[in-house]
Structure formats: C-alpha cells, structure tokens
Amino acid sequence: MVFNSYTFIVFFAIMLLLHNLPISWKAKKTNLLLASYLFYAAWNPPFILLLWLSTVVDFFVGRALYTQPNKHKRRVLLVVSLIGNLGMLCFFKYGNFLLDNFVQLSNLVGFDYHPAKPNIILPAGISFYTFTTLCYTIDMYKRKSEPVKSLLDFSLFVTFFPHLVAGPIVRPPQLVPQFETPRKATSEQLMNGLLLLTLGLFMKVVCADILLSGAADTVFSSQGGFGALDAWTGVLAFSGQIFFDFAGYSTSAIGVALCLGFVLPQNFWYPYAAIGFSDFWRRWHITLSAWLRDYLYIPLGGNREGKFRTYLNVMITMLVGGLWHGASWTFVAWGGLHGLYLWIERAINDSRASTSSQPEGGENAPVIATASMGISLSGKNSAGFLYALLTFLLVCITWVFFRSSTFSGAWQILSAMSGRVPAAGPPLLATITIIKVGVVISLMLGFHWFMRNSSVLKTTAKMPWWLTGVVWSVMLILIVLSQGTSKSFIYFQF
C-alpha cells in the first residue's frame, strides 16, 4: 500500500475514524498496530514474520541488556541482536551482491565457480526498520534510556505505518513516550497534517512523477550518443525527482502521523539551499545522517583522535551510508564522492581555523564540522547563494552514480555532461521537455533558498486563510488529475 493510491485514502479515513472513537487507549493502539501490519502486508504478507521476529527479539534482548549486570553477558546479548538484525539485512539486501562479488573474485584467482542464482526478494523498508530497532538495542547496551515497558508500545514503535517503509528513521525517545498516554489530534494538528499530506503527495505525484521522471528516465536509460544539454537536463531532472519523491514521502508520513496526534522528526530541510556538504547532510535525510553520526561516526572516534582518524571516520561513514542505500558499487561510489567532498570542505575549514586560531566544530555536528566554506549559514546574501548553487551542481554529479546501475553508464553520462562527447544523433529530449525541467528546477532552487531557514507550517501560518485555501485546492486538483500515472516511491527499494 502506498500513500499515492486511492486504497490508502480509504485505509487512512478508516484509521482516523477508529482513532477518534470513544474506546480505550489500549484498544486504539491495538488498532494502530493491526493497521500497520495490514499496511505492510499489502506488499508481501510473509515478510510480516521478519517484522515480528525483529520486534520480539529486540524487545526482550533490549530489556536484558539494560538489566544484566555482567559485562560479558551484556556483550553477548548485543552481539545476538546485531547478528539477528544485520544478518537478516545482509541476507535479503546484500545476499546477491555478496555472492556476485565472491564469484567474480573466485574466477579472478582461477576458480571456475558458477553457483545457482538465488531468488531473494527484498522486503520493503528493511533498511529503515532495521536501523530503528538497532538504535534501541545499542541505546539499551549503553543505558542511555530506560527500556520500553510494554511489548505493544515497542511493536507499535517499530511498525507504526507512517514511518515503517521509508522513514523518517525514529528513535525510541522520539516516539515511544507518545504511545504511553492517550493522544488525539487537535483541530490545528489535523488541518496541518492534512496540509502536509497534500503537499507530500503533490511533490511525489505532480513534481516527481509527472514533471521530472520522464526526462530522467529517458537520459539514464539511453545507450549513449546524446549531448551535454540532454545529459545535464536528465541529471537535473533526477536531482529534482529524487528530492520530490523522498521528501514527498517524508512530508506525507509526518502529515499522516500528525493527523493521528503523533509527531515524527523532520527529515528534509530544503537541502538544495545548503552551503557546503556538511550543511547538505544537515538538511538531506536528516534522520539517517544523525543515525550515522551517533551510531557509527562518533563510536569510530569522531574527531577526537586527530586529523587522520577524523578524515578516515568521515569516509567510512559516507561509504557505509552509500552501501545502506543499495547493494551496488555505484552506491558506494556515491557515498565515497560525498566523503571526498566532505574531506575537501573540512580541509578548507581546518586551514581557515588554523590561520584565524578558531576552534574546530563540535562532536555533535552531523558527520563533519563547521559552517561551510566560511559563509554564514543564516545570511541570504549573493555569495551564499552562489556557494549554494555550486554545492547543488556538485551534488548533481553524485546523483549520476546513485541513478546509474553501472559505472559504464555513469561514465557515459558524465562524459556527455563535460561536453567531451558530441551528440551522435538527434537530441534525446524535446525542447519543451528541456524548458519544463529548467523551469521546475529553477523554481525548486529559488523556493529552497527562500525557505532555507523556515518551514511550511510557519509560512502558511502567516499567510491569509484564503491564499492557503487557493494553494491547497490547486494542489488537490492537480493530484487528482494526475492519478493513474504516478509510480512507486524510489526509496521503497532501499
């Protein structure tokens, strides 16, 4: 079941009705849990067993981790949880990838090894709910918070349908306390939630699927022979598509939860207005960036072990972040390129800090440190906009590896973007398509820059009610007119 379907609209309407009935809070939570399983079962019912296994094991292991006084037994319990969660993730998501690379390595050293191809189906959202449960057991091992008292609350925390399949990645303190006391959306929360749901669907259905996906798919599926204009148009289209698709899902998820009275963490904050790459990762997929910072970068040593270790930790974190997105070396290259950008940015910041005797950024900065390139992150000046535009264009280069399934395909597009490869035939994209993509991307960048220090709800609260109503109505009409042409969310494959 997906947000951009009439089935979900019916499902959500029923959930709103049940959640507002005069029944006990435990019954309402049970309804939410059963609905979450139904929501997930719409993809592949047997995979609910994986959710149950992960939930039950981590609930009891987490409690034991918190109460067990013996240090060695606690480590064994942590290893059991890590093996259980990461083992399932590795098998289902990386099984084919690991086997293919093992076969290639075996053949390279002279062994003629050709095993049968396993038929492994990737469960929807396994990367998201695995990270959700992992943070709980790790927090219990470190005794950062008390264990969840109720299996019902913990199960609902793991499987709550708005965030289950594609995030945001939530932590227990962010959501579990909201399940402990009765919650029902206020009239303001309901209206804000419906507005965010509408906005998220507009971003996905209209902007990502209708306006941008066609150009991106045409360029990235081509076998070559196109020029720089086609290549740049396709890459820019995908840069907008991936944002509108994923941010659209997160916005919809936050809106759906808010309609039920629950608050999910923000996952996007106008990332294409970022000034530099540490700022980009403060704004793009915020919950994943924070997870990698707290559960990988800082445990590796963060920036506490000297410059060499800091640079190494940054690269390891970004490589893992790339591999988390997909079982392919192109995703690793995408993460590695972001790591390289962060290296360069940090080197510039270190150089500035040493000449001005300023201290380095704190440990809590996402992935790496300080205000990027010495430009004010709050000022809307022309220099800041130019640096933001440069950051966006460099990010677009990384999207080539993210979207391409092979390195040869990525190199083909990068070569065309550089202008070194002349077009071998007629243009791939029609002039009207190129103009459409240019207008949409320009409007997106302008909107990000204008909103970079604000939020949708804060802005709409300042708008006249009639203007909000007009904008809302236009989005609803365009969504309805676009139904039947929308696609599944990109991040469902991760």
Residue 71: Cβ-neighbour burial (10 angstroms; 0-12, 13-18, 19+):
exposed
Closest CA to 131 of 280, 298, 282, 325: 325
270: left (phi over 0), alpha (psi -120 to 50) or beta: left
How far, in Å, CA of 21 to CA of 28, rounded?
A: 8
The SS3 assignment for 88 reads helix
Cα 377 to Cα 303: distance, rounded to the nearest angstrom: 22
What are the DSSP calls for 133-146, one per residue? HHHHHHHHHHT-SP
Q: Which residues contact 440 (CB under 8 A, 6 or more apart)?
A: 207, 211, 212, 240
Contacts (Cβ under 8 Å, ≥6 apart) of 235: 216, 219, 396, 397, 399, 400, 413, 417
Instruction: Read off the DSSP letter of residue 221.
Output: T
SS3 162: helix
Cα 260–chain centre separation = 23
Question: Which residue has tokens 């970068």?
Answer: 297
What φ, ψ does residue 37 adopt, rounded to 5°?
-65, -40
Spot the catalytic one: 19, 163, 325, 338.
Answer: 325
- 272 neighbors 396 (Cβ within 8 angstroms): no
Give the Å distances, CA to CA, from 413 to 212, 218, 400, 432, 482. 17, 12, 7, 21, 30
Q: Which of 445, 452, 282 is nearest to 380 (CA)?
A: 452
Can you tell me the distance from the alpha carbon of 442 to that of 435, in angstroms, rounded to the nearest whole number? 10
Annotation says 325 is catalytic: yes
The span from the CA of 4 to the CA of 13, in Å, is 14
Query: What are the structure tokens assigned to 79, written together?
Result: 């290893």
- Number of Cα atoms under 13 Å in the Cβ half of residue 152: 13
Give the C-alpha separation, 124 to 139, whole Å.
25
d(CA 414, CA 411): 5
Structure tokens at 6: 């009439």
Residue 368: exposed, middle, or buried by beta-carbon count in 10 A (0-12, 13-18, 19+)? buried
State the Cα–Cα distance between residues 145 and 162, nearest whole angstrom: 24
Q: What are the residue numbers of the active site? A: 325
